[in-house]
Structure 1
Amino acid sequence: FSTVRKNGYRAGNSVFSSPSSPNEEEIRFLEAAEYGDIPTVREMLSSPTLNTSCVDFMEQNALQLACGNEHFEIVELLTQGKSMSRIGDALLLAISKGYLRIAELLMNHPSFRVNQRLTKSPGELMLLDPESDFYSYDNDGTRFSSDITPIILAAQCQEFDIVYELIRRGATIQHPHEYKCQCADCTHMRRNDALNYCLSRLNAYKGLASPVYLSLITADPVRLALKLSHELTRMADVEKEFKKEYLKLVTQLYDYLEKLLDICRNSEEVNAMLSGNERRKKTSRKETRDSRLNQLKRTIKYGVKGFVAHPNCQLRLIEIWNGHLTWLRQLSISYKFLLAVGMSLSMPVLSIVFFLAPQSMVARTMRSPFCKFATHGMAHAQFLMLLVLNCIDRVEWFKSSPPFAFLIHQTSEHGRHTEFNWCEVFIMLYTAGLLWNEVTELWDDGPRNYVVQLWNILDFFLLVILITSFVASRLSKDWKVAPHLYKSTNPVSVIKSCYNIYLYIYKDFFLNRSHWIGSDPQLIAEALYSLGIVLSFTRICYILEVSEKFGPLQISLLSTVGDIIKWCGIFFMIFGAFLLGLFNLYSYYGKPEAKTTKAFTTIEETFITLFWSLFGLADYRGVEVKYDHQWTRIVGYQLYGAYNIITVVIMLNMLIAMINRSYSDVQVDSDLEWKFARAKLMMSYFDNGNVLPVPYNLVTIP
């Protein structure tokens, strides 16, 4: 609108041109309005020669001067007399100064009933009636932008009473279109004045994000504030030029949500805050333990940590976490641990009771979030114990101990599996239970919500690795290949000539592990199983989020993952550049008589040398050549030295600094970060599904 305003009203004047000077009568009239001289103003309004629309050297008319100095009687006289211009500007001025009486007086003026002037901006009204003097469409005549409406200004100024009066009269803030909107209005504004387009959107968002406006415009301000904060966060990523302003509005909304919890006086009001007034829509098969937590789920999704970590919200979470077992709150950690162990040991009996009497007191107790967490955590601990027992027979001390003779891992002398032992059977049973848990969670939450959880991705890879390992172990039992596929074929040929049929079935048992091919299923199974053990133990970090002592440390560890990923993006570009450069320089010296070592002669050797040089374990003499090629030697030393300076001295220290910063950021707000992470963990146990831990969950529950 600024382009139209300038073309229509300022085409003949320079920006620095001085306004026309008022005469003596107009000067006297303007001074009387400015200083509140009621008799003089009343007398001069009856003069037929007075131009009531005259302006001073600041382009302010009498109505604007009276509003700016809060002269209510003068404003009342001016609006009752002759037709007065710039009533809209006067209202904006009164709103900006918080003069409620003057604002109400102007809002009741008949001129606001035309063309919905109370709800439209000056720019919109100018397009409807270019000849109107309701607003000053000249930059010198007003201090407000052409896209500012009275309610936007009142909301930005946090004027509660004025916003209420405007809303009562039907004024609302129009929500900006999507940033990439291709409608005619948005396209026109972007092409003509991109700055005005962005500022108009920002002004509208400032009004929408006002706590006063949110409190008056909707019965569910929490839901609207969360939705708006999410939108503003996206806008901060899109409009990088105004990122700071948008993030400031997001922080303002977060503070508003926390203050709403501060004023809650009892549990009923807290429940109302966490519930919202929208009708609950069934988005999944999963039934929520308490529908009043739907609002809390949304705050966790949008990352409103202050709201989730608020004492009132945390207290409500603890109440639901303990369920009807209110005495749990008085127990210490050690007693809770003993209770979890006792429930785990009695789980076979509890599962039968839960299956036969799902509505009994025992079943109700097992459905409480605390009991679910305790039994599931102990089930995972049992799974880890099985993994340890399955490996313990290969430890020398346990091999010679008679009590551990029942843990025989393999019956073949050379390490070939003949059958699964009891420990592996239980591991497969637990794996099947974990698989069923993931399938039900995927079905309940949907693929989109499932993949956004880091621990779900970890569980998925854990199951894929373990299942593949078990399948490969099974294939190893019946592994049949031709003898020439093995490294040593002569012994096999001799045996085959004598025991052809016997060899066909059992030949793999006669061969030592050193004769196995690299793609042997047993080797693949062992490698995958090792990865599965590592991933299984990392799952403990998920349980540690409940602990106040270990939780912040685990959160700090996860927060550094993002820094490491960003660092790796830069590091691998540098690493790849030096890898190709050094390989290209020394690839022609691959013969033993050319170099003393194999460093840099192949891609593999170059990668190994550069990688271990990060830890000071590579030989710097790898750049030497036996030939008298000084230029190659000099360039090689320079490249290798530059690589060590950039990666070891600069990049590694940069990584340490980034990790230290992330750790410090978490430790500064360690209590907030821990409570937010604990709330996310608690919410995962608030649903009625997956009551029984693995492997008891394989039993179909009615």
Structure 2
Amino acid sequence: MSRAIQRLMKDYRKAEKLIGRSTNESFADFTNSASFTTQTMTQIRREPELTQDEKKYLVAVERGDMATTRRYLAISSGTTAALLDVDMPMTPININCLDPLGRSALSIAIEYENIEMIELLLSYNVDTGEALLHAIDEEFVEAVELLLQHEDLKQQQQKNSINADNNRYSNNIGINDKSNPLFTLAQDALEKEKKEQQYDITQKVNEQLNLSTSRLYTPDITPVVLAAHRDNYEILKILLERGEKVTEPHDVRCDCANCIVYNKEDSLRHSRSRINAYKALSSPCYISLSSRDPIMTAFDLNRELKRLSRIENEFKQEYEQLAQQCQEYSAALLAETRSSKELEIILNYDSENPPVLSETPEKMNLSRLKLAIRYKQKKFVSHAHCQQLLASLWYEGLPGFRRRHSVIKILITTLVGLLFPVLSIAYLLMPRSSIGRIMRQPFIKFICHSVSYIFFLILLFVVSLRIDFAKVLSGIEEETNERRGPPPNPVEIAIMFYVAGFIWAEIKQLYQEGLHQYMADTWNLLDWVTNCLYVAAIVLRVMAYIKVNQEERDLQNKAISVHGSHNSSGVHTPNHPNLTSDPVSISTGHNVRRRDWNAWDPTLISEGIFAAANIFSSLKLVYIFTINPHLGPLQISLGRMVHDILKFSVLILLVAFAFACGLNQLFWYYARMKKSECELDAGFDEYCAKDIHKHFSKDFNYI
């Protein structure tokens, strides 16, 4: 025992050294020393000195000496058998004493995992204190069960004592009688005390914040929270079966009275308590034991933690680690699937509309997978099991296509692409036929849609070449494309049918997905803008056609009236309306030269809008190329590069604006002076003729 005592004394001196004092130096002398410069700012708390018997008692617990520990406990409790033992000292000790490291006898027994010693200490009703939290921290399951049973036993004893007191007082009829004046006075005093005691929230917060600093755990660390932090399945199961649960913290933007006061009194502890709560909620074992839909719970937690990482930037790294943990947990659950049937059940599960076991869905809706894509659960979506199921669905109807040679793949793709008009017509006329069922296969449908869209781009390219189909088909030398408000040619009519189909497809998608989900995809917004531009171009072309025809009729009526008046006077006039001397007729009619058109002519505006729509339509190919394993990642890199370019553009514009303001401050006088000279000088000046005094202001506007 002497060695154990020496080791305990060594630890005791080490602890005293850490707080800045030696064993031979009193606290008063220490505070009066010259080195103690922060005596007005800091108060050092000194633990009470241990007696020699208390040190032996703690050493006996640490060594597992049951007999010695039992005798010390018996002496302190006043047991007669211990008092008759002459070999033991008669001085009782404090069985709840602490060693220099702040450990009680029960904590030491838990640290050394001595279950017999723990049972012995609990039998003598030692103070448990934070022993339950310490046992959970050490992940000592047997100790946790013992401590919980001990707490239950104490609560039962207190309950029995209260019941016994109530039964004893209930026998006193005089006091229990409401007609007794004493009863009335007591009742009035209680009601008055309730009214006067308005519990202040600030006082409540201060009580929690001013707890003893000797606690190893903050008040927000409950047993179930600590068990979730340690991710111990057995301890969590024991606590959850007792009805314990982790309380979800208030929202980070919550402005309730409690949150305002907590944030005002100690914002750091308030933020740390939120982190501790979410750390417990994101524990894999806690989610598995407490949630009916663990994957959905992990998705929601991941989304919430990412939002908190953007709001509380100071703790961004911790929130991102917890979000990553939730994402890995959902992917780990997906990895536990053992068959394609289990995988289909998981990916098709919809928490809002759970399926009936007797129902067998004909078509997979992949609700859970779509939800994972919406929540940006990359590890879940990119998991091998998920990708294998998607590949089997994608190449359904083409067994063994992925294992064939590349040449055979190209030939099959080309054949399907060439037959897409036949397949499309067969699908429209006979959707339930064998050919119609072929068109329902995802891979075949994708090839047909891609070839159809490429054909649409070819039509746009043909229109951009400005080929005059009226001239080619009829052999007339007149340039129809150069006329104002020309009628649509066959290619433009085909484009109009394509645009109508695109609009119908977008309406169907909007109806199926909903407005919020539809607007969440940037490509849907691009399609919507492109379709609006095409519709605007078509409407303007129709307006231009109607307007020009109306102008032609007006000019013909005017020419007829003028021709009739001149015939009556015997003067010959030209028949063409655009060759009249009237200046209004120069910019009206079909056969006006393009350079004489009005700048806001509907035909010119429709051509500009149509050109912008063509650009957006060509960019849609980037979306189709995402299926390629080489071009798809490049699209992601391109998007990130554009974001970086925009960030650098902000700095470049700021620097350019600063230099422009500085140069304008230096040269504004000379530009204004030269401008006034040019206005006063009536003679020819090459400098003034070129408006050089405005060049700097133009440069400033360009910048």
Taking structure 2 as the reference length, what is the TM-score of the superposition?
Answer: 0.72
Find the partner of 1:102 among 128, 143, 149: 143
Find the partner of 1:33 among 61, 64, 67: 61
Q: Give yes or no for the alignment of 1:62 onto 2:136.
A: no
Change (3 A) 1:212 1:292: farther
Contact 1:206–1:249, Cα closer than 8 Å, also in 2:
yes
Superposition map of 1:604-683 within 5 A? 604-608=698-702, 610=703
1:542-580 per-residue CA deviation (whole Å, 9 max, x = no partner) reads 010011122222221122222233233333333444455
Q: Give yes or no for the alignment of 1:91 onto 2:165.
A: no
**Separation (CA, whole Å) in 1 of partners of 2:482 and 2:431:** 51
1:640-662 per-residue CA deviation (whole Å, 9 max, x = no partner) reads xxxxxxxxxxxxxxxxxxxxxxx
**Separation (CA, whole Å) in 1 of partners of 2:614 and 2:213:** 71
Q: Percent of counterpart pairs with the same letter? A: 30
Say which one has the larger Rg. 2
**Separation (CA, whole Å) in 1 of partners of 2:430 and 2:447:** 21
| Farther-moved stretch of structure 1 (51-60 vs 588-597) | 588-597
Contact 1:476–1:521, Cα closer than 8 Å, also in 2:
yes
Q: For residue 558 of structure 1, what is the aligned residue in structure 2? A: 639
Change (3 A) 1:105 1:15: farther
**Separation (CA, whole Å) in 2 of partners of 1:202 and 1:402:** 73
Taking structure 1 as the reference length, what is the TM-score of the superposition?
Answer: 0.72
Q: CA deviation at 1:218?
A: 2.1
Q: CA deviation at 1:444?
A: 2.0
Q: For residue 486 of structure 1, what is the aligned residue in structure 2? A: none
**Separation (CA, whole Å) in 2 of partners of 1:582 and 1:127:** 62
Classify the secondary structure of the residue corresponding to 1:571: helix
**Separation (CA, whole Å) in 2 of partners of 1:410 and 1:538:** 35
Find the partner of 1:383 among 433, 456, 460: 456
Q: CA deviation at 1:510?
A: 3.5
Q: For residue 534 of structure 2, what is the aligned residue in structure 1? A: 466
Q: Give yes or no for the alignment of 1:181 onto 2:251.
A: no
1:73-103 per-residue CA deviation (whole Å, 9 max, x = no partner) reads 111111111x22234x111111112212212
Q: For residue 447 of structure 2, what is the aligned residue in structure 1? A: 374
**Separation (CA, whole Å) in 2 of partners of 1:407 and 1:558:** 49
Q: CA RMSD in A?
A: 3.8
Specify the code of the residue in structure 1 equivalent to 2:149.
Answer: N
**Separation (CA, whole Å) in 1 of partners of 2:61 and 2:475:** 100
Classify the secondary structure of the residue corresponding to 2:402: helix
Classify the secondary structure of the residue corresponding to 1:329: coil
**Separation (CA, whole Å) in 1 of partners of 2:407 and 2:692:** 58
Change (3 A) 1:408 1:386: farther
Change (3 A) 1:408 1:14: farther
Contact 2:586–2:592, Cα closer than 8 Å, also in 1:
no
Q: For residue 236 of structure 2, what is the aligned residue in structure 1? A: 163
Q: CA deviation at 1:513?
A: 1.4
1:399-426 per-residue CA deviation (whole Å, 9 max, x = no partner) reads 9x99977899983374535211101110
Q: For residue 144 of structure 1, what is the aligned residue in structure 2? A: 217
Q: For residue 420 of structure 1, what is the aligned residue in structure 2? A: 488
Specify the code of the residue in structure 2 equivalent to 1:44.
Answer: Y
Classify the secondary structure of the residue corresponding to 1:330: coil
Superposition map of 1:91-490 within 5 A? 91-111=132-152, 114=155, 138-140=212-214, 142-276=215-349, 278-280=351-353, 290=363, 293-331=366-404, 335-336=408-409, 338-393=411-466, 411-412=479-480, 414-479=482-547
Q: CA deviation at 1:185?
A: 2.7
Q: CA deviation at 1:235?
A: 0.7
Specify the code of the residue in structure 1 equivalent to 2:529.
Answer: F
**Separation (CA, whole Å) in 2 of partners of 1:506 and 1:517:** 7
Contact 2:471–2:479, Cα closer than 8 Å, also in 1:
no
Contact 2:470–2:476, Cα closer than 8 Å, also in 1:
no
Q: Which runs of 5+ in 1 are unaligned?
A: 1-11, 116-123, 283-287, 484-493, 611-702
| Farther-moved stretch of structure 1 (247-256 vs 376-385) | 247-256
Change (3 A) 1:406 1:335: farther
Classify the secondary structure of the residue corresponding to 1:510: coil
Q: CA deviation at 1:471?
A: 2.1
**Separation (CA, whole Å) in 2 of partners of 1:407 and 1:452:** 51
Change (3 A) 1:112 1:242: farther
Change (3 A) 1:227 1:423: same
1:368-405 per-residue CA deviation (whole Å, 9 max, x = no partner) reads 222221111111101001111223355xxxx9x99977
Contact 2:224–2:236, Cα closer than 8 Å, also in 1:
yes
Q: CA deviation at 1:509?
A: 3.2
Change (3 A) 1:307 1:476: same
Change (3 A) 1:270 1:235: same
Q: CA deviation at 1:18?
A: 0.6
**Separation (CA, whole Å) in 1 of partners of 2:471 and 2:630:** 37
Aligned length: 562
Change (3 A) 1:318 1:413: closer
Specify the code of the residue in structure 2 equivalent to 1:86.
Answer: T
1:332-363 per-residue CA deviation (whole Å, 9 max, x = no partner) reads 56545544544454444434433443333333
**Separation (CA, whole Å) in 1 of partners of 2:93 and 2:41:** 25
**Separation (CA, whole Å) in 2 of partners of 1:418 and 1:558:** 40
1:566-622 per-residue CA deviation (whole Å, 9 max, x = no partner) reads 2333333334444555566455356662697748637555344x4xxxxxxxxxxxx
Q: For residue 624 of structure 2, what is the aligned residue in structure 1? A: 543
Q: CA deviation at 1:107?
A: 2.0
Contact 2:483–2:591, Cα closer than 8 Å, also in 1:
no
Q: Which runs of 5+ in 2 are unaligned?
A: 1-39, 79-91, 157-200, 356-360, 552-561, 567-572, 579-584, 679-685
Q: For residue 514 of structure 1, what is the aligned residue in structure 2? A: 595
**Separation (CA, whole Å) in 1 of partners of 2:379 and 2:403:** 26
Classify the secondary structure of the residue corresponding to 2:244: coil
Q: Give yes or no for the alignment of 1:601 onto 2:695.
A: yes
Change (3 A) 1:432 1:169: same
Find the partner of 1:524 among 590, 593, 605: 605
Higher RCO, 1 vs 2 (CA within 8 Å, ≥6 residues apart): 1
Specify the code of the residue in structure 2 equivalent to 1:296.
Answer: L
1:26-82 per-residue CA deviation (whole Å, 9 max, x = no partner) reads 22222212222111111111113332222222332211121122121111111111x
Change (3 A) 1:275 1:208: farther
Contact 1:410–1:416, Cα closer than 8 Å, also in 2:
no
Change (3 A) 1:581 1:465: farther
Q: For residue 71 of structure 1, what is the aligned residue in structure 2? A: 114
Contact 1:390–1:409, Cα closer than 8 Å, also in 2:
no
Change (3 A) 1:102 1:275: farther
Contact 1:29–1:44, Cα closer than 8 Å, also in 2:
yes
**Separation (CA, whole Å) in 2 of partners of 1:527 and 1:428:** 17
**Separation (CA, whole Å) in 1 of partners of 2:633 and 2:510:** 28
Change (3 A) 1:595 1:556: farther
Classify the secondary structure of the residue corresponding to 2:514: helix
**Separation (CA, whole Å) in 1 of partners of 2:528 and 2:153:** 63
**Separation (CA, whole Å) in 1 of partners of 2:376 and 2:475:** 48
Q: For residue 14 of structure 2, what is the aligned residue in structure 1? A: none
Q: For residue 16 of structure 2, what is the aligned residue in structure 1? A: none
**Separation (CA, whole Å) in 1 of partners of 2:481 and 2:435:** 50
Find the partner of 1:569 among 647, 650, 674: 650
Change (3 A) 1:176 1:290: farther
